[in-house]
A and B are shown apart, each in its own frame.
Chain A
Amino acid sequence: MSEKTQATRRVLAEYTYEAPPVERGYTGQTLYVNLSDNTISAKPVTDVMKEKFIGGRGFGLWLLWHGVKDDTKWNDPENEIVISSGPIGGITQYPGSGKSLVVTISPLTDIVIDSNVGGHFGPLLKFAGWDGIEIQGKAEEEVIVVIDGVSGRVTIEEAPDAPVDTHLLGHWLIEQLAEKKEDRYFMSTVSAGSGAEHTRIGCLNFSLYDRKRKAPRFKQAGRGGIGTVFRDKRIKALVVRSGPVRGDSNHPADPERIARVGTRLHKEIHDYDDEQNRMRKRGTPYLVQIMDDYDLLPVHNFKFGSHSDTPKINGDVWEARFTQGLPDGCWYGCTMACSHAVDAYTVRTGPYKGQKVIVDGPEYETIAGVGSNCGIFNPDDILEINFYCDTYGIDTISFGTLTAFVMECYEAGILDKEKTGGLELTFGNGEAAIELLHQMGRGEGFGKIAGQGIRRMKEYFVSEYGADPQFLQDIGMEAKGLEYSEYVCKESLAQQGGYGLTNKGPQHDEAWLIFMDQVSNLLPTFEDKAEALHYFPMFRTWFGLVGHCKLPWNDIVPPDNRYTDEPAKIPEHVQNYVELFSAVTGREITKEDLIAQSEAVYNFQRVFNLRLGKGRREHDAIPYRSQGPVTVEEYESRAERYDQQLREILGLDPEGMSTQEKMAALRKYREEQYERLKDAVYERRGWTPDGVPKLETLKRLGIDFPEVVAVVQKHL
């Protein structure tokens, strides 16, 4: 490291090591850092960890389980942040192979949150000698943790000059820590920002160095307030440096097999992406118009599913704004390359007004969350919010969903200018939303209240403003304490379960079943829905165990997929994953093994929730806004649809019924359906009617460890 670096940093603790070679996707050790007593050590990766927990989220859950107590809260020192990629993470021959998984106890949900993220940190951490990093304790002063795999040195350091907000800090760290130009290519940082320390919706930014733009870029581990935990531990940044990444850095058992599978997918992307989703040119924003077309795009706090102004923020708009012709992968070798950016955006508000910056994204979730859901259809407002959310370390999804909730409360008269400190938070007021965000960054005003998340705002509005608790429960789009991601699921019972029957809260990365259920009618029975709510959450959990991105699974589809028995599963790509895992680890698996691997980890996480006092049927409750129309305005906007359902499903004649009566009849039916869905899903997953994994399920999955059984037995 450079003279300049040594002059501006004070080392509090140092640990030296010799990075072991990566063998078949694993280094065989994880890094433990305790910021309370400044200890640093290595822990072995055991056979149980590799066989039952695989890597990534699995390793995170296992290490966190052993690090915390039954009553640990998010801001207790023993809470941990664990980051791990997974055995496939770091290969460069198959698109989407560079993900990191982060777990901690969430300040929003008080249970475990897991969040996946691109960027280079997880794979470079492995190539620096570690399958994961486990951070416990709280520092007395602000620190950075530097893992230098080249020199074999881990340090905890005070860096008082380092800025906090990510877009500044990322540059600062490169300037300070990269000795040579080439060093920055194989460095990655993790940081949050000032908003993360003043709210419960903090995210983490994982960097990659963009060689073409000659600047760091950032991908977000957004969900659940992990950035808030990070700042509560007084961490400014984690930094990893490894030697150069090569095609065989992950030392797989059978590199030729990986190359064969990878070549096939690269060709599919090359040949078909332009006629399918255009991921290489517009990325996830392609979904905006499609969701609107199917009445699934959240508008005005999920009241509606479409809006006439959607063309102002759809994929065409973003394709024109994104800088084209640059390789926008967030890990080496990803030809899907969907990680787009708007370059040279001039910030127009706040502390960085006038700066020209790179805005990473916006992704679909951001556009739908801070855009349509808040009635904001101005692309520049969306970019401004996207930039500040990232640099402040705030999750765009939670920010969007909670701002939409605030706006509905404002329009319903629960809030007014006096209560918001002058902010006129009506739908469509982009300037007010931006100022709300700055208040979160400063920890001031109404932004500080809103930043606590919807669940705590509901309690506050009831106790302080006398708001109707039932109305707030109905319109507050959170479950388990986590804000919903950005899809309207009123007409898909399966997706209501896809959000509600999750381990961490309503994030669609477990299951997205709306088309299968609502549109294609492929899941007509409760058993069909339960099977889908078993298979897809288990399948998608697997990406987080191995370090893989979900997008290359189904955002490119082989042309002969239509002739397969189960086209929704994309069987050819499932087989690719079987091949990849077998080829990397040398452990031959089948597609059934893949599900079994996930099922063990998934059930372990459910038991973890039980251990922390949640994880039962009552905790799988969802707000009625996600199930049906809460207000007369909503019902009447889709009256033909709802009246038809009353006639055809309930045998009622809507003529002569008031809208309130029709809403009540529909609500009773839909809420009963959700409870029946819970019964079917719990049974399929091998759980009791209270949502507790049965002992026989734990035994079948091989996770009947004494401490796990002891937790479950309390609830049987």
Chain B
Amino acid sequence: MIRVNNRDEIEWEEGLTPAALLERMRYTFPHIIVTIDGEVVPPEEYATRPIPDGANVQLIHLIAGG
């Protein structure tokens, strides 16, 4: 299990990455900052950086709206 945005409990699976997590949550906004246990993940590592079981993940959406 991982915790997302200090609120949502999400089932963990082997090989889970930020890209897979964003897809699972259907988070399509282009300006999302990902942190894993407080460390910012560069976008080029979204598809490869593993998210460990028990991690605290933040998917920070910047402001949108016209």
Residues of chain A whose beta carbon lies under 8 Å from any beta carbon of chain B: 275-277, 284, 287, 289-290, 293-294, 363-365, 485, 487, 508, 512-516, 519-522, 524, 536, 551, 554, 557, 561-563, 567-568, 570
In the assembled complex, the Cα of A691 lies from the Cα of B40 at a distance in Å of 40
Residues of B within 8 A of A363 (CB): 66
Min CB gap B8→A, angstroms: 8
Contact of B5 (CB < 8 Å), options: A289, A513, A514, A520: A520
Q: Are B26 and A293 interface neighbours, CB within 8 A?
A: yes
Q: Are A567 and B65 interface neighbours, CB within 8 A?
A: no
Residues of B within 8 A of A514 (CB): 64-65
Q: Are B63 and A365 interface neighbours, CB within 8 A?
A: no
Nearest opposing residue in chain B for A495, CB measure? B65
Nearest opposing residue in chain A for B42, CB measure? A562
In the assembled complex, the Cα of A521 lies from the Cα of B25 at a distance in Å of 15
Q: Are A512 and B30 interface neighbours, CB within 8 A?
A: no
CB-defined A-B contacts under 8 Å, sample of 6: A287-B66, A515-B29, A515-B61, A515-B64, A522-B60, A536-B63
Q: Are A567 and B33 interface neighbours, CB within 8 A?
A: yes
Q: Are B62 and A521 interface neighbours, CB within 8 A?
A: no
Interface string of B1-39 (1 = CB under 8 A from A): 000011100000000000000000011111101000000
Given contact pairs A293-B28, A515-B29, A554 touches B5 in the complex (Cβ within 8 A): no
Nearest opposing residue in chain B for A557, CB measure? B31
Residues of A within 8 A of B55 (CB): none
Main secondary structure on B side of the interface with A: loop
Nearest opposing residue in chain B for A278, CB measure? B30
Residues of B within 8 A of A568 (CB): 60, 62-63
Residues of A within 8 A of B62 (CB): 515, 554, 557, 561, 567-568, 570
Question: Most chain-B Cβ atoms within 10 A of its Cβ — which of A276, A277, A294, A557?
Answer: A294
Contact of B66 (CB < 8 Å), options: A275, A364, A570: A364
Q: Are B5 and A521 interface neighbours, CB within 8 A?
A: yes
Residues of A within 8 A of B27 (CB): 293-294, 519
Q: Are A520 and B60 interface neighbours, CB within 8 A?
A: yes
Q: Are A521 and B64 interface neighbours, CB within 8 A?
A: no
Q: Are B6 and A516 interface neighbours, CB within 8 A?
A: no
Given contact pairs A521-B7, A562-B33, A516 touches B61 in the complex (Cβ within 8 A): yes
Q: A485-B66, A515-B63, A519-B5 are in contact. List 7 more A-B contacts (CB 8 A).
A: A287-B65, A293-B27, A294-B26, A519-B27, A524-B6, A567-B33, A570-B62
In the assembled complex, the Cα of A287 lies from the Cα of B66 at a distance in Å of 8
Residues of A within 8 A of B26 (CB): 293-294
Q: Which 4 A-B pairs have the closest CB atoms?
A: A512-B65, A515-B61, A521-B5, A562-B33
Residues of A within 8 A of B29 (CB): 290, 293-294, 515
Min CB gap B13→A, angstroms: 22
Given contact pairs A293-B26, A520-B5, A287 touches B60 in the complex (Cβ within 8 A): no
Min CB gap A571→B, angstroms: 12
Residues of A within 8 A of B65 (CB): 287, 487, 508, 512, 514
In the assembled complex, the Cα of A562 lies from the Cα of B59 at a distance in Å of 11
Q: Are A516 and B63 interface neighbours, CB within 8 A?
A: yes
In the assembled complex, the Cα of A562 lies from the Cα of B61 at a distance in Å of 11
Nearest opposing residue in chain B for A276, CB measure? B30
Q: Are B61 and A520 interface neighbours, CB within 8 A?
A: yes
Residues of B within 8 A of A487 (CB): 65
Min CB gap A203→B, angstroms: 15
In the assembled complex, the Cα of A515 lies from the Cα of B58 at a distance in Å of 13
In the assembled complex, the Cα of A684 lies from the Cα of B44 at a distance in Å of 40
Q: Are B63 and A519 interface neighbours, CB within 8 A?
A: no
In the assembled complex, the Cα of A567 lies from the Cα of B27 at a distance in Å of 18
Min CB gap B1→A, angstroms: 16
Q: Are A567 and B30 interface neighbours, CB within 8 A?
A: no
Residues of A within 8 A of B33 (CB): 562, 567
Residues of B within 8 A of A536 (CB): 63
Q: Are A563 and B63 interface neighbours, CB within 8 A?
A: no
Contact of A290 (CB < 8 Å), options: B5, B7, B59, B64: B64
Given contact pairs A275-B30, A293-B26, A515-B29, A520 touches B66 in the complex (Cβ within 8 A): no
Residues of A within 8 A of B28 (CB): 289-290, 293-294
Nearest opposing residue in chain B for A283, CB measure? B66
Q: Are B31 and A284 interface neighbours, CB within 8 A?
A: no
Nearest opposing residue in chain B for A555, CB measure? B64
Nearest opposing residue in chain B for A512, CB measure? B65
Residues of B within 8 A of A521 (CB): 5-7
Q: Are B63 and A513 interface neighbours, CB within 8 A?
A: yes
Given contact pairs A290-B29, A520-B5, A562-B33, A284 touches B66 in the complex (Cβ within 8 A): yes
Contact of B30 (CB < 8 Å), options: A277, A284, A520, A563: A277
Q: Are A365 and B61 interface neighbours, CB within 8 A?
A: no
Q: Are A554 and B6 interface neighbours, CB within 8 A?
A: no
Nearest opposing residue in chain A for B58, CB measure? A520
Q: Are B59 and A512 interface neighbours, CB within 8 A?
A: no
Min CB gap B35→A, angstroms: 9
In the assembled complex, the Cα of A365 lies from the Cα of B64 at a distance in Å of 13
Residues of A within 8 A of B63 (CB): 512-513, 515-516, 536, 554, 568
